[in-house]
Amino acid sequence: MKNSVHGIHHLTAIAGEAQENLNFYAGVMGMRLVKKSVNQDVPDTYHLFYADGAGTPGTDLTFFPWPSMGPGRLGTGLIVEVPFAVPKGSLKYWRERFDKMGVKYGAVETRFNETTLPFKDPHGLQLALVETDDQREFVPWEKSAVLPEHQLRGMHSVRLWERRLSPTAETLTECMGFSLLGTENGWSRYIVDGGGSGKFIEVKELPQENRGRWGTGAVHHVAWRMKDSEEEMAMREIIFNDGLFPTEQIDRFWFKSVYFREPGEVLFELATDGPGFDRDENMERLGEQLILPPWLEPHRALIEAALPSLEMPRTET
């Protein structure tokens, strides 16, 4: 069988003020804060993980809140939008919720025959809701402010701008197991592992567009699902043999990671499905306490002193 990734594992973006980020994703969007930790490479910064009720791979959107950083700039070599999957018929509910809570949104669009509502978060991150009947691995969050039948089912796809399509397309199809599904309005949609929601990537070639820039409201990277460490290391070897420069495997404690930049410079990660977010917390108490990986635990007092306090927003319906 051809080696392949298995869809989106998580996306990580850069936020502004941490409390505003928490208020929006837990309070407005109804996601569960499944892990409150720190950036393992810059431990004076939070790393906040939002997902479904169980932290299922593919439902997880994470943030580094860096309020002192300037705004990001859309451009090539970046992920330019994060579309979430919602059940068919949910957009009416979400437009009414956005109206009530002061969230601005765009006109409803049809993309690849899917009804889509674009909007932004408080720090400028480009988001969308996409109605789909596709089955997803998903656990409702019973304490969400959003009714279970309308809760976010995870990331539906990722959208990239690239200066040149062909080098990125070659890595996707020859190394990672993707195949081209179709094109529309300049976008090329690729599917992996049989396709369906959470297993799409959409790429648009914009040869005259300026290079994008990380900053608040920008996506930092996308992680792709690998079943286990053995499969991840086999994919790492394929990436290395393609002339790219993957990192060594890094233990993130809740999963293991390998990072590389695809030919258009978007940062990709390979991430194992396990061990999972309940490795060091009871599933019923996820996200309630600041959790540090074991190698940072000796520095807890210094780390906590550098972090702003956070209060959970009201989440009842």
In the chain, domain spans: 8-306
The pLDDT score that the predictor gives to residue 314 is 76
Q: What is the mean pLDDT of the chain?
A: 96
Query: Could you read off the pLDDT of 213-262 as tens digits, one per residue?
Result: 999 999 999 999 999 999 999 999 999 999 999 999 999 999 999 999 99
Q: Band of the pLDDT at 3, cuts 50, 70, 90? A: confident
Q: pTM value?
A: 0.96
Q: Strand 157-162 to strand 126-132: parallel, antiparallel, or no bridges (unpaired)?
A: unpaired
Query: Could you read off the pLDDT of 36-89 as tens digits, one per residue?
Result: 999 998 999 999 999 999 999 999 999 999 999 999 999 999 999 999 999 999
Is the link from the previous residue into 275 a cis peptide, with omega within 30 of 0? yes
Per-residue pLDDT at 1 exceeds 60: no
Residue 158 near residue 58, CB atoms below 8 Å: no
The pLDDT score that the predictor gives to residue 2 is 74
Residue 40 near residue 241, CB atoms below 8 Å: no
Residue 169 near residue 203, CB atoms below 8 Å: yes
Per-residue pLDDT at 10 exceeds 90: yes
Residue 116 near residue 129, CB atoms below 8 Å: yes
The pLDDT score that the predictor gives to residue 315 is 63
Q: Specify the CATH number for 8-306; select among 3.40.50.300, 3.40.50.2300, 3.10.180.10, 3.40.50.970.
A: 3.10.180.10
Average pLDDT for residues 178-190, to the nearest whole number? 98
Residue 160 near residue 212, CB atoms below 8 Å: no
Per-residue pLDDT at 28 exceeds 70: yes
